[in-house]
Amino acid sequence: MTTQRVYKTEAIVLKGIKLGEADKILTLYTPYLGKIRAVAKGIRRPKSKLRGHVETLTHSTLMLARGKNLDIITQGQTIHSFLPLRDSLWRTSHALYASELTDRFTAEQVENLSLFQLLLDALKLLCQTEDAGLIRHYFELHLLSHIGYRPQLERCIKCDSRLNPTANFFSIGGGGVLCPDCQHKESAVYPISLNALKTMRFLQNSDCSSATRLRINPRLSVELELLMQKYITYLLERRVESVKWIDKLREQG
């Protein structure tokens, strides 16, 4: 963390919680300071000049002053407001999912520039495409890679043999794929189709531009969602809250 009395940083606002009558404590993800929490004073007042620059899912440049317990946001300037996210509950729900994963998987004040860029790219892509589920899977796989939980999708995690083009098995606890001969060597094992494995490999090894050109059918999307949610829930030891909103919107749609 910087030791300067006043400092400037880019930040994506992950979430905010009310403090007192008019303030909020914001959780921010920054390029070089990692995740930080800071107080935005008076932003719940209608005339607050800072309010629009520190809304959840906003990318801004902020000035902060070091405080005794939490730093205080003194100025802000919006870089990206991501307006298309706010016009679609479906897009919003996936953006909040990405921000929640970022929050859950990171400790405070640990720099991870690659993860900051990944989150920023994901929010931009969600503004540009209708296939929010595809961006979600891309984000999940790359986030896991950036924080040290990259699933092994090329070789069997038990016998280290190269996986054959057939139905294999994903081990939640093992963090990767088992060949048919090794499926009984791990608990919490789920079938993974050849198409799902190929799609996960492609997304894992692609940049965001290439990923957006991929098209996946609804059945495959459901399979990927189930596998990824089981793995992420295992790692976090709890279900991601924003998934409930995505599920509810899907049921209503």
Clarify whether residues 94 and 77 are in a common domain: no
242 and 132 within one domain: yes
Q: Are residues 129 and 225 in the same domain?
A: yes
Q: Tally Cβ neighbours within 10 Å of residue 16.
A: 19
Tell me the CATH number at 19. 2.40.50.140
User: Do both 118 and 18 map to the same domain?
Assistant: no
Distance (Å, rounded) from C-alpha 176 to C-alpha 172? Answer: 7
Residues 165 and 178 in one domain: yes
Domain of residue 26, residue span:
6-81
Q: Name the domain count of the chain.
A: 2
8 Å CB contact between 223 and 193 = yes
- The two most distant CA atoms of the chain are separated, in Å, by 65
Q: What is the pLDDT of residue 3?
A: 60
> Do the domain assignments include residue 1?
no
Check if the beta carbon of residue 164 is closer than 8 Å to that of residue 197.
no
97 and 45, same structural domain? no
Domain termination residue (choose one: 54, 81, 108):
81
Q: For residue 207, count CB atoms less than 10 angstroms from its CB and return exposed for 0-12, middle for 13-18, buried for 19 or more.
A: exposed
Boundary-marking domain end, from 21, 48, 81: 81
**What tens-digit pLDDT sequence spans the chain (253 residues)?**
446 799 999 999 999 999 999 999 999 999 999 999 999 999 999 889 999 999 999 999 999 999 888 999 999 999 999 999 988 999 999 999 999 999 999 999 999 999 999 999 999 999 998 899 999 999 999 999 999 999 999 999 999 999 999 999 999 999 999 999 999 999 899 999 999 999 999 999 999 889 888 999 989 999 999 999 999 999 999 999 999 889 888 888 6
* Domain identity same for 214 and 202: yes
Q: Based on the domain organization, do 115 and 222 belong to the same domain?
A: yes
CATH number at residue 91: 1.20.1440.120
CB 158 within 8 A of CB 186: yes
C-alpha–C-alpha distance, residues 225 and 105, integer Å = 18
Instruction: Say what the pTM is.
Output: 0.94
Residues 117 and 234 both lie in one domain: yes
68/89 same-domain check? no
Give the count of alpha carbons within 13 A of 214, CB side only: 27
Residue finishing a domain among 59, 81, 103:
81
